[in-house]
Structure 1
Amino acid sequence: MNDVDLDFLLGDAEDERPSRRRPPGSRVQQRRSRKRRRRQRRKGYIATVFAMLVIVGVLGGGVYYGVNVAREVLTPKDFTGEGHGEVEVEVKEGATATDVAQLLEKEGVVASARTFLNVIGAAGKTSSLQPGVYTLRKGMSAEAALKAMLDPGNKVVNRVTIREGLRLSKIFTELSTATGRPVEEFQKAAKEDIGLPSYAKGRLEGFAFPATYDISPKDTPKTILSRMVERFVQTAERLDLERRAKELGYTPRQIMIIASIVQAESGRLEDMPKVARVIYNRLSRNPPMKLEMDSTLMYGLGKYGIAATNEDLKSDSPYNTYRRYGLPPGPICNPGDHAIEAALNPADGNWLWFVTVDPKRGITKFTDKESEFWKLREEFNRNRG
């Protein structure tokens, strides 16, 4: 663009002014002035264009950077394949999906906790992860890691459920089967310091709380039994065992003996408070009345059954409540919280006898008359065939 063209575009301010006479000799200066102004205008125009280009470049770079950041956030990094090596990862009780994801990232199993959360969320398995120890690999894709954790074969921990009312000998057998350790190791551990309350008098029977336990290969018989005792102590505190036992006029140990009998004799949960009442009524009877419970007799004989024979009744065992007054010397099984609560809060009633007339359906009937008791016994025998 030459000077004439620029003049045409930008105009000349002096051309718009009314024509007037100029002093001679001033035309050269005026032309120089106009040229100077045109150069300044060109510089300003170029500077403006350059500034706009710089601004556009900065904005474009910011957008590009922002897109990359967003892409990184929305699509976090992930490994590919099934990984390599081997690593054990322990998921604690109560751990959330986020806790597990962060643990997997920390152990190098997955590349990103966020990726794992995205995968588990898309699969609808957020609440499917179970506590335990898992054998996994490092550098696994999030999808492969989730699949491995949902496979029971990768779980190192054995989950064992100890049912209410099991004798300690049976609990040792089940724990031995679950862990592969000899029963003798559990018998030995039961005599060690496993946190038993003082009123247990050093005996675990009655205080190995029935519940579901996760057992890892690292757990010893002592740690397993200690965990069971800890669960009992927690239950005892929740039920306020010591204070409520005192209010009833009994020791915590006596309550646990009663609870164990309630557990062994009850066919259904709703019968437990009534069974407890029968025990208390017999203990407080004047003149004294024997408990006459088959469950205690069978425990002393090391047998199982719901009906003692005449030969059984001759036993000299301190657990033979057909021959001895009062409570047996210790619990006869390991009761759950329902039986303990029933022992602490027995039902109101004058019953002195009960008979489980239909063992298959767990139907038990209660009475305060001995004549009615014998009729119930006949009903029981008929149902047994």
Structure 2
Amino acid sequence: MKAGRRWLLSAALAVVAALGAGMGWFALYAYSPGPLQSEPSRIVTIPRGSSLAEIESILVGQGLLTPSRGFAPLAYLMDAATRLPAGEFELPTNQTPVALIRGLEKARPIHYAVTVPEGLTIEQTGAVFADKGITDFDEFVRLAGSPAFAMRLGLVDAADLEGYLYPDTYYFTKPVPEPEALLTMLVNQALAVYDEVGQETTDLSRHELFTLASIIEKETGAPQERPLIAGVFYNRLATGMRLQSDPTILFGLGRVGGAISKSDLDSDTAYNTYRISGLPPGPICSPGRAALHAAMHPATTDAFYFVSKNDGTHQFSKTLKEHNRAVRKYQR
């Protein structure tokens, strides 16, 4: 055999051997479990727009994958290169790269439940989301307090988003929404519930109804009383009486809870309904569905007064004389 042919044959055999070795290594990599871990799973966060190299680095960093250059070629070979999702996932440990890629393709993102109670202010609502890692508190409060942002969301009578951050349980996956998107979602939910509840014939605007509902929300936690309290406030509005609602005083003073003093009653704020006539300029908290329903469907009542019975309910009275008697009985 001539030397040239022998060289070509040797080169071909070397290539075949190299390919075989490479394929053997690749198969060994693809079907060998990752680093041995004692935990059954690890939480992995893959940012939106991550490359295959970045995803591999994340998986290696979490101890799910052995460092190698085989991850990207394997993902392409499995037709999964463009189907690996972004988000936060819980992935099992001790998996082969093949199983890991297939598992990540089908992985469902971790959901975080955030419950916003009824009756919270902008700052309190922002704190709920910030404590769960869903939003930046300062940016949330800044945007929620912006008249321009309120106008963009269709709240033409509102100076901010107070009262429109609907209380409910919300579910999130990572990456979480930006504060602007989060606030838009809360306001849209509030307006959707408003439309669902529907209002009876009333002279109050939507903004005034949210304002009244927020006062009802803070006045009682007893569901059966909300329509009655709404009825009392409508009676007062109709006859020109002041609402004289303690929660409005606290809101105007920037306080949450606590007793009302004589000086508080005399405080000069736009929310002191012991001094102003009619409704305050805006909501004092975010009302829930029941409070909105009460504001839009008040009970028919002869009562003009109510006082706490210190058990979560109130005594309702038609006249000031009856009311004073109830005050002496329950507020001694």
Asked if residue 263 in structure 1 is aligned to residue 217 in structure 2, the reply is yes
Aligned to 2:122: 168
Equivalences for residues 8-87 of structure 1 within 5 A:
none
Q: Assess, with a 3 A threshold, how the Cα gap between structure 1 residues 133 and 281 changes in structure 2: closer, same or farther.
A: farther
Cα distance between partner residues in 2 of 1:352 and 1:306 = 24
Aligned to 1:177: 131
Aligned to 2:231: 277
Asked if residue 301 in structure 1 is aligned to residue 253 in structure 2, the reply is yes
Cα distance between partner residues in 1 of 2:295 and 2:129 = 28
Q: Which has the higher helix share?
A: 1
Asked if residue 355 in structure 1 is aligned to residue 310 in structure 2, the reply is no
- The Cα shift of 1:180 comes to 6.6
2:169 to 196, 200, 212: 212
Count of paired positions: 249
Cα distance between partner residues in 2 of 1:228 and 1:84 = 32
Tell me, what secondary structure is at the counterpart of 1:172? helix
- The Cα shift of 1:158 comes to 2.8
- The Cα shift of 1:380 comes to 3.1
Cα RMSD over matched residues?
Answer: 3.3
Q: Runs of 5+ in structure 1 lacking a partner?
A: 1-79, 90-107, 112-131, 150-154
Structure 2 length normalisation: TM-score? 0.66
Aligned to 1:374: 324
Cα distance between partner residues in 2 of 1:85 and 1:267 = 40
Structure 1 length normalisation: TM-score? 0.58
Pick which of 331-340 and 224-233 moved more: 224-233
Cα distance between partner residues in 2 of 1:300 and 1:85 = 45
Aligned to 1:65: none
2:91 to 125, 136, 152: 136
Q: Assess, with a 3 A threshold, how the Cα gap between structure 1 residues 140 and 200 changes in structure 2: closer, same or farther.
A: farther
- The Cα shift of 1:251 comes to 0.7
1:235-289 deviation line (CA, Å, top 9, x unaligned): 122123xxx36x211111111111011111013010000000010000111xx21
Q: Runs of 5+ in structure 2 lacking a partner?
A: 1-32, 35-39, 48-74, 79-86
Q: Assess, with a 3 A threshold, how the Cα gap between structure 1 residues 84 and 182 changes in structure 2: closer, same or farther.
A: closer
Pick which of 272-281 and 158-167 moved more: 158-167
Cα distance between partner residues in 2 of 1:266 and 1:230 = 25
Contact 1:208/1:228 (<8 A) preserved: yes
Contact 1:300/1:319 (<8 A) preserved: yes
Contact 1:206/1:335 (<8 A) preserved: yes
- The Cα shift of 1:303 comes to 1.2
Aligned to 1:239: 197
What one-letter code is carried by the residue in structure 1 that aligns with 2:182?
I
- The Cα shift of 1:201 comes to 2.6
Q: Which has the higher contact order (CA 8 A, sep 6+)?
A: 2
Aligned to 2:68: none
Contact 1:273/1:342 (<8 A) preserved: yes
Tell me, what secondary structure is at the counterpart of 1:248? coil
Cα distance between partner residues in 1 of 2:306 and 2:223 = 15
Contact 1:196/1:204 (<8 A) preserved: no
1:229 to 187, 192, 216: 187
Cα distance between partner residues in 2 of 1:274 and 1:157 = 39
Cα distance between partner residues in 1 of 2:318 and 2:149 = 45
Asked if residue 325 in structure 1 is aligned to residue 289 in structure 2, the reply is no
- The Cα shift of 1:85 comes to 11
Cα distance between partner residues in 2 of 1:368 and 1:306 = 27
Cα distance between partner residues in 2 of 1:187 and 1:237 = 26
Cα distance between partner residues in 2 of 1:336 and 1:365 = 23
- The Cα shift of 1:171 comes to 0.7
Cα distance between partner residues in 1 of 2:191 and 2:261 = 37
- The Cα shift of 1:87 comes to 7.2
Aligned to 2:142: 188
Cα distance between partner residues in 2 of 1:202 and 1:374 = 37
Cα distance between partner residues in 2 of 1:381 and 1:258 = 25
Amino-acid identity (%): 30
